[in-house]
Structures are given as C-alpha cells and as structure tokens.
C-alpha cells in the first residue's frame, strides 16, 4: 500500500505540473524551429501554446505519469515502509539523517532505474515534435523501433547514467523530513500540520533543485544521444560533464536552475502534500498510527505503557503482541 500511495501522490502532482516540464524541455533541448528567440520561461510557454495550442502543454503526459508512478512509487513507498518501522529514526523519535538518506537511496535508485523506459520514450518523443510529419514517430512507434534495434535492453539505455541523479534526488525526502521535524518544534507550526507540510515541501524542492540542476543537464544530453544519434559525442556521464566544463566552465551547469525549480518546486510541494494527505486518509481507515506525530514522546527505559508505537504504520493487534518485547525502546503512544 505504501508504494501505491506514493505513486498516486506523484501522478496526481504530475498532471498539474506537466506543462512546466514541457516548457522546461523546450528551453533546454528545443532551440530550433521557432524557438531561437526565447526570452524566458513564461515567454517560451506562451510560444508553445500559441504555436501548437493549449493541449500541447500536456504533451508527454502518459509516459510522465508512468515514470512518476514507478519512480515515486518505489521511492516514497520504500521510504515510508522503512519509516513505519522506525528505521529512519533514533529511539528518541527524531529523524536520523544517515538512515533517512539510506532509505531514500534504496527506493530512489530502484525507482529511477525501472522508470527509465518511460523517461526515454518521453525524451525521444519530444524530439520528434520538431521533425517533418513524414518523420514523426508516435510513442508506440518509438518503442517498437527501440525494441527492434536493441531489444529489451534498449529501454534501459542511459539507465545507469541517471543513477547519480537519483542519488542526488535522495536529498528531497531527507530535507523534507528534517524541515518538517524542525518546524514542528514550534507550537505555531505544530498546530497547523498542513501549512507545515507545505513549507517543508517547498524547502525540500529548493534543496532538490540546487543539488540536481547539473545532473539534470547532463542526463538530458545523454538521453538525446542514447538511441537515435549516429554520433556518440559523449562516451559516458563523466565524459559529458567534463566536456561541458572544458567548453563553458561551471556556468552552464546551473543555467537551467530557475526553470528546473519551477518544475521541481511545485511538483515536490504538490507530491509531498498529496502524499501526507493520502497517508492520513489511509491511517484513519485502517486504524494505523503515525510515527511522525507530535504525540510520540520519549520516556524512560523499561517503562510499561499501552499501544507502543515504535513500529508505526502497523495494525493495533500487531503492536499489542509486540508491547512487552519492545517496551525498552523508549517511546510510547499517548
């Protein structure tokens, strides 16, 4: 269920933020065919809508939702699965940053790898938008071409290239957990959980954008040559990064940070807010408890108490069975 909730939250956010991704992609890799004189994010969006209609701002939605479902389903699902068992916290109930990073990494790497086919299809389809009609390929045709030429392995071309980006992406959940925990120490935020979640998610989006911008640039360039490019300009991830640096220095690596944040920021906020709300609904309907709740408090060791909550996210009868064996963990449900 953790994986389904994570995927549903991400796809819901994806529907609302996909136009931002479309505009961002046009700014980075579509500098031809009526886009030579782009003046900024809003101007680019206006030009896209003017040329192709408002519907064009939702191009690539299908593979984007597939990618979100797989990548965030695994990322958020794995993190929540481990967090529900107290594996991302100290015994006092505070977030353990190293454990949180490890939990994010496990889910993030799996999610990024197995969602690679969707990202590849989305990138290749976006490139074909600027070809002549006779050269245009649909998603199905692109997938067929990849399979015929490279087999199943072709869908995972560039997958390992995306893993460093996934590692950087682990900063999202860890920064969210730490920001939320820090804000909850103040009564004004503790009494406004929704507002606290929004602020913590916004902070996580900023951290993610700053950390990911260089890797997003390199990944986009690698995807462009992954299948259809006859000339392999870059031999690998590090080679691509090194050549960009030699040609233009460090500046290009953060050139697209603004557009990236306009995409990652809203998606992060919406995704994490939906995630928290969906988890709350699930808990209320399945009688589960929230280990992150402010009602968890540290108590002296060897105390006996009811409804121990260290293994949160499990059913009441489970921690009734575990009450005595876990009573030394130092937390209780009040």
Average pLDDT of every residue of the chain: 76
Q: Does domain 2-286 have CATH number 1.20.58.340?
A: no
> What is the share, in percent, of the chain residues with pLDDT greater than 70?
76
Res 38: pLDDT: 58
Q: How many CB atoms lie within 10 A of CB 294?
A: 14
- Residue 265 reports pLDDT greater than 80: yes
pLDDT higher than threshold 90 for residue 8: yes
Answer yes or no: are the C-beta atoms of 289 and 281 closer than 8 Å.
no
Give residue-wise pLDDT tens across range 37-87: 556 778 888 888 888 888 878 877 888 888 899 989 999 999 999 998 888
Q: Which residue has the higher pLDDT, 113 or 308?
A: 113
* Residue 160, both tokens: 């390992």
> Would you say how long the chain is, in residues?
334
According to DSSP, the residues that pair with 89 across neighbouring strands are 95
Q: Which helix (H) or strand (E) holds 317?
A: helix 316-321
Virtual CA dihedral for 155, 160, 164, 166, nearest 10 degrees?
40
Spell out the SS3 assignment of 31-61.
CCCCCCCCCCHHHHHHHHHHHHCHHHHHCCH
Query: Which residues make Cβ contacts (< 8 Å) with residue 119, sequence separation at least 6?
Result: 63, 67, 162, 223
Domain boundaries, the chain: 2-286, 294-334
pLDDT in tens, 173-210: 999 999 999 999 888 888 888 999 999 999 999 998 88
Spatial contact of 272 and 296, defined as CB atoms under 8 Å apart = no
| pLDDT (0 to 100) of residue 18 | 86
Contact of 66 with 27, CB cutoff 8 Å: no
Tokens of 27: 């700014």
- Tokens linked to 265: 């920021």
Are 77 and 2 a contacting pair, CB within 8 Å? yes
Highest mean pLDDT among 146-155, 188-197, 247-256: 188-197
Per-residue pLDDT tens over the stretch 271-284: 999 999 999 888 88
What is the mean predicted confidence (pLDDT) over 233-241? 77
Distances (CA, A) of 72 to 8, 50, 144, 300: 9, 32, 26, 38
Residue 299 pLDDT: 36
Please report the pLDDT score of residue 331 as a whole number: 40
Is residue 323 pLDDT above 70, yes or no?
no
pLDDT of residue 226: 56
């Amino acid at each position: 269920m953790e994986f389904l909730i994570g995927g549903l939250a991400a796809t819901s956010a994806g529907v609302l933020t996909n136009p931002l991704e479309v505009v961002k992609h046009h700014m980075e890799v579509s500098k031809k065919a009526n886009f030579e004189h782009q003046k900024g994010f809003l101007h680019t969006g206006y030009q896209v809508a003017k040329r192709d209609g408002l519907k064009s701002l939702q191009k690539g939605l299908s593979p984007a939702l597939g990618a979100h479902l797989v990548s965030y389903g695994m990322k958020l699902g794995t993190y929540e699965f481990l967090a529900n068992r107290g594996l991302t916290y100290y015994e006092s109930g505070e977030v353990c940053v190293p454990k949180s990073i490890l939990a994010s990494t496990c889910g993030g790497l799996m999610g990024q790898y197995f969602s690679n086919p969707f990202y590849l299809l989305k990138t290749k389809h976006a490139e074909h938008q600027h070809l002549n009609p006779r050269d245009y390929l649909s998603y199905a045709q692109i997938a067929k071409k990849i399979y015929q030429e490279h087999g199943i392995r072709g869908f995972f071309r560039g997958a390992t290239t995306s893993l460093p980006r996934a590692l950087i992406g682990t900063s999202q959940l860890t920064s969210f957990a730490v920001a939320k925990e820090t804000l909850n120490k103040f009564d004004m935020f503790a009494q406004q959980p929704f507002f606290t979640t929004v602020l913590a998610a916004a902070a996580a989006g900023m951290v993610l954008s700053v950390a990911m911008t260089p890797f997003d640039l390199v990944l986009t360039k690698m995807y462009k040559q992954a299948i259809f490019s006859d000339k392999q300009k870059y031999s690998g991830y590090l080679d691509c990064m090194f050549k960009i640096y030699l040609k233009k220095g460090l500046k290009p690596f953060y050139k697209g940070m603004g557009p990236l944040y306009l995409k990652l920021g809203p998606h992060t906020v919406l995704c994490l807010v939906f995630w928290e709300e969906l988890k709350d609904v699930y808990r209320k309907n399945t009688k589960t408890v929230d280990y992150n709740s402010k009602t968890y408090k540290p108590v002296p060791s060897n105390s006996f108490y009811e409804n121990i909550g260290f293994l949160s996210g499990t059913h009441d009868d489970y921690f009734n069975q575990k009450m005595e064996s876990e009573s030394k963990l130092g937390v209780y449900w009040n």
